Structure 1
């Protein structure tokens, strides 16, 4: 089968033929239809220090995907051949303290599909049956392919009650835009978004943002005045990993404000802990999805809101056949886009 492989340490990838995987007793083999590009894939392509420390080559990349079940192992009873599915990209051990307590997203032995084991940039991928999420028969495979980042957005956005609250989202990448749509869906009063990309701010505005701020041209204080806000933001959703964005968010939070942080920084940076303490701000780190409460939440929201489905789908701005993978990577790296999806069908 065709697969996009990190064949050796160093920058770059290769599209090569590899043997088709075979599912184990409790595993499922999926014929990949769509696969989304993530920032993690760019790190792995470029072979930065994190990639060099984490990945053992050869490795098939890719962890955002949808596909059709092609084969199930003999011990699989709840997944059937022919079903359209998405996949949870974090495989947990089931034995550590958090797993045994039902907090699987906190597993200390988590392995990532496309990072620690072969992933979905291929015609077929094998994952544990417990990681398979079955979609409705008529579900859009493009939308099913972005359930991984949608789960990140859902986990982050629903970390704190949002109804009637004023929300600021820093970073209007695909996950930030999805967070805007979710905040609007669950009843936030105002949603403000910051980003340096005009294209991405336009996506956020279309997804339901009340006001969009380019920090090179304005600031959150001006946004608050424009919205008629007399106090700071109640909820902050940090999606950028950019130190100036984090500092600005903290500066504009109300006393008792709550911040959920998903964006990964490139390196450590200082935080005004005096303001965090004196303003009694709660900061919560977010990684991945709660398994599987987040999956139930996003499926339920999408099933009840056409507006939310349209907003999430609008995040997919570019689609390429898998054979044009290099163009897909270049587009994703440009930042002048939303989500990039490759077609493996």
Structure 2
């Protein structure tokens, strides 16, 4: 089969490789769609993560079951599935607390095991979630990033009627926007430099969009919300958004960091000590795929509005990674395995 492998910074190659062997309790999936994630971009631009132990990328993917191993009962050939990439040990203290996303011994498809930027993937039965018949399999590739957004909102202090700000309107930012809206936020302010992404945010329900190059975003947020939002989410991961996010929350509010970072930030602790604001992180998700599938299948979160391009696997570098690095009009690019 063909697969996209990463060998280092800006070194991704589509090569022939063996289909992983099918074992008991596992499922052979013919990949239909796979999304390029912000964390994939981090590896492309800044180098591979320490957790990577094999080169085949891709952890946001969906496909069709073609064969099942001995003992598999929950899916069968012909089923369309979304694959949860996280593989938790189930035994460490965090797993026992229900925090599989923080597993001390975790692995994952696309990192420690061959991933979804390939024609086929072999996954554990429990990692293959059957999609409803009426759901486009394309949206199955958005279950993983949508779960990231839903988990962040669920973990936050946001309550019905609260105000929220989202810094960054890339894929996670736009999914956060929809999750925040579904959770009942009364005002949603999106801060984004790209004109196209601000327009998309308005289309998806933002009450205000701000270009931080043209206006003082923090001052405007405080003006719109009488002193600051209840919860601000960072989906950009740069120094400027961190400083703005901390400053944009009301006294006693929360700044939730969802993005991954290539560089450390510098800030004064006084920015939250004097306001008793909370700075919290959100990482991945835990036990959320069924709920997220329902949100996408029912259109409560519109995954189609986040997808901007479908590309063949052969063009994953030029039309995928390089395009995302240089074109702010792009949002979620999916590798479509049906394209040649």
TM-score (norm 2): 0.92
The residue aligned with 2:20 is 21
| Range that drifts further, 64-73 or 317-326 | 317-326
Label 1:10 to 1:186 Cα distance change in 2 as closer, same or farther (>3 A): closer
Equivalent residues in 2 for 1:53-132, closer than 5 Å = 53-57=50-54, 59-132=55-128
Query: Equivalents in 2 of 1:9, 1:186: separation in Å?
Result: 40
- Partners of 1:213 and 1:220 within 8 A in 2: no
Cα distance, 1:223 vs. partner? 4.1
Cα distance, 1:9 vs. partner? 4.7
- Partners of 1:331 and 1:340 within 8 A in 2: no
Q: Does 1:2 align with 2:2?
A: yes
Q: How many residues align?
A: 334
The residue aligned with 1:337 is 330
Query: Equivalents in 1 of 2:331, 2:281: separation in Å?
Result: 24
Query: Equivalents in 1 of 2:289, 2:51: separation in Å?
Result: 27
The residue aligned with 1:149 is 145
Alignment equivalent of 1:295, drawn from 280, 289, 294: 289
Q: Which structure's residues are more often helix, by fraction?
A: 1
- Partners of 2:3 and 2:14 within 8 A in 1: yes
Cα distance, 1:258 vs. partner? 1.6
Query: Equivalents in 1 of 2:271, 2:42: separation in Å?
Result: 33
| Range that drifts further, 131-140 or 12-21 | 12-21
- Partners of 2:246 and 2:279 within 8 A in 1: no
- Partners of 1:28 and 1:129 within 8 A in 2: yes
Query: Equivalents in 2 of 1:283, 1:146: separation in Å?
Result: 27
Question: SS in structure 2 opposite 1:196?
Answer: coil
Structure 2 residue runs without a partner (length 5+): none
Query: Equivalents in 1 of 2:264, 2:133: separation in Å?
Result: 45
The residue aligned with 1:220 is 218
- Partners of 2:132 and 2:297 within 8 A in 1: no
- Partners of 2:179 and 2:301 within 8 A in 1: no
Alignment equivalent of 2:304, drawn from 313, 329, 332: 313
- 1:156-199 CA-partner distances (Å, limit 9, x unpaired): 12223331001000111111011111211221110001122222
- 1:77-98 CA-partner distances (Å, limit 9, x unpaired): 2222211111111111122112
Label 1:251 to 1:52 Cα distance change in 2 as closer, same or farther (>3 A): closer
Label 1:78 to 1:319 Cα distance change in 2 as closer, same or farther (>3 A): same
Query: Equivalents in 2 of 1:288, 1:41: separation in Å?
Result: 14
Question: SS in structure 2 opposite 1:188?
Answer: coil
Query: Equivalents in 2 of 1:100, 1:156: separation in Å?
Result: 21
Query: Equivalents in 1 of 2:221, 2:230: separation in Å?
Result: 14
TM-score (norm 1): 0.91
Question: SS in structure 1 opposite 2:270?
Answer: helix
Query: Equivalents in 2 of 1:175, 1:10: separation in Å?
Result: 23
- Partners of 1:9 and 1:52 within 8 A in 2: no
Question: SS in structure 2 opposite 1:330?
Answer: helix
Cα distance, 1:235 vs. partner? 0.8
The residue aligned with 1:271 is 267
Structure 1 residue runs without a partner (length 5+): none
Equivalent residues in 2 for 1:33-48, closer than 5 Å = 33-46=32-45, 48=46
